[in-house]
């Protein structure tokens, strides 16, 4: 688990909930680091595809993960992702990688390895805290985090937001892909239901700024209950 003096803000949520952009801005406002755990799964998917691996083959995925050399910056203003000497920050967002991610995430041993990596990255951070976002952060990666949030929104709203980001793709295609991704990933981890002690922030009727403020309110309320907590002023 992260060292005691690194404050973890754990944020889970489904695709299109805005958790990446919201978590990034929350990290900036707090002066915290930002860790996109999904980027690691995407990077491993890219790595597997680069090696010609069928990502639906769990054994092959496990084999190729053995030489996975992954680094990511926790700087919310420069969130670069590298696999070996290759900068894959943009490449891991390609549709072929997105389609391959669920196959990677379904392998339990891979999830265990990446969970250990995430905890190590947080522990080694030189910032007072890290906003960690993904699918199983509040329940698996950092279940003891002082702030645990499920960021969600109505499926139609999430699809519309994702469509606005992917202007070169048809809205119905984006919505269908979003649904498939949620269905596939929810078979591995429940990120659609808040675990006990997790605060739900529903952004269906909120714009980006309002959502960031809502999350910051949760963070400040949670941290203010801790002796000597002064973060987010």
* DSSP letter string, 85-100: TEE-TTGGGSHHHHHH
Quote the crossing angle between the two packed helices 37-50 and 108-123, to the nearest 10°. Answer: 130
Predicted confidence (pLDDT) at residue 168 exceeds the cutoff of 80? no
Per-residue model confidence as pLDDT tens digits over 89-112: 999 999 899 889 988 988 999 999
pLDDT score for 106: 87
Q: What would you measure as the largest C-alpha separation in the chain, in angstroms?
A: 52
Query: What are the residues whose beta carbons fall under 8 Å from the beta carbon of 25, sequence distance 6 or more?
Result: 76, 208, 212
Do 147 and 222 meet the contact criterion of CB atoms below 8 Å apart?
yes
Which residues, in sequence order, are bridge partners of residue 199? 149
Fold exhibited by the domain 7-219: Rossmann fold (3.40.50)
- Phi, psi at residue 54, to the nearest 5°? -80, 110
Predicted confidence (pLDDT) at residue 14 exceeds the cutoff of 70? yes
Per-residue model confidence as pLDDT tens digits over 198-221: 999 999 999 999 999 999 999 999
Residue 206 DSSP class: -
Q: Read off the pLDDT of each residue in 153-167 and give the average, rounded to a whole number.
A: 73
Length of the chain: 233
Closest to 151 in 3D by CA, of 191, 207, 115: 191
- b/e 50-88 (16+ beta carbons within 10 angstroms → b): eeebebeebebbeebbeebebebbbebeebebebeeeeb
pLDDT band at 77 (very low <50, low <70, confident <90, very high): very high
Predicted confidence (pLDDT) at residue 69 exceeds the cutoff of 50? yes
User: In this prediction, what percent of the chain has a pLDDT beyond 70?
Assistant: 82
List binding-site positions for ATP.
13-21
- Mean pLDDT of the residues in the chain: 86
Predicted confidence (pLDDT) at residue 228 exceeds the cutoff of 90? no
Do 192 and 14 meet the contact criterion of CB atoms below 8 Å apart?
yes
Q: Read off the pLDDT of each residue in 61-76 and give the average, rounded to a whole number.
A: 91
Question: What is the C-alpha separation between 202 and 155, in angstroms, rounded?
Answer: 11
Strand order of the sheet with strand 7-12? 33-36, 129-134, 7-12, 147-152, 199-202
Predicted confidence (pLDDT) at residue 227 exceeds the cutoff of 50? no
Query: What are the residues whose beta carbons fall under 8 Å from the beta carbon of 225, sequence distance 6 or more?
Result: none
- In this predicted model, which residue has the larger pLDDT, 159 or 87? 87
pLDDT score for 18: 84
Locate the domains of the chain by residue range: 7-219
pLDDT score for 50: 94
pLDDT score for 173: 67
pTM score, two decimals? 0.84
* Strand, coil or helix: 199: strand
Question: What is the C-alpha separation between 186 and 183, in angstroms, rounded?
Answer: 5
């Amino acid at each position: 688990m992260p060292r005691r003096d690194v404050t973890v803000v754990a944020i889970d949520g489904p695709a299109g909930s805005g958790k990446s952009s919201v978590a990034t801005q929350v990290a900036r406002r707090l002066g915290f680091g930002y860790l996109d755990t999904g980027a690691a799964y995407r990077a491993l998917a890219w790595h597997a595809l680069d090696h010609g691996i069928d990502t639906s083959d769990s054994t092959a995925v496990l084999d190729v993960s053995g030489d996975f050399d992954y680094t990511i910056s926790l700087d919310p203003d420069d969130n670069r992702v590298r696999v070996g000497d290759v900068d894959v920050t943009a490449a891991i967002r390609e549709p072929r990688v997105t389609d391959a991610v669920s196959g990677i995430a379904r392998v339990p041993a891979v999830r265990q390895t990446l969970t250990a990596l995430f905890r190590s990255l947080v522990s080694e951070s030189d910032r007072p805290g890290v906003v960690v976002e993904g699918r199983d952060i509040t329940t698996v990666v950092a279940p003891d985090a002082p702030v645990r949030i499920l960021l969600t929104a109505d499926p139609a709203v999430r699809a519309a937001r994702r469509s606005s980001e992917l202007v070169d793709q048809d809205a119905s295609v984006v919505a269908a892909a979003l649904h498939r991704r949620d269905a596939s990933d929810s078979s591995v981890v429940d990120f659609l239901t808040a675990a006990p002690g997790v605060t739900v922030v529903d952004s269906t009727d909120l714009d980006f700024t309002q959502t960031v403020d809502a999350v910051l309110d949760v963070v400040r309320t949670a941290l203010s209950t801790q002796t000597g907590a002064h973060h987010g002023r």
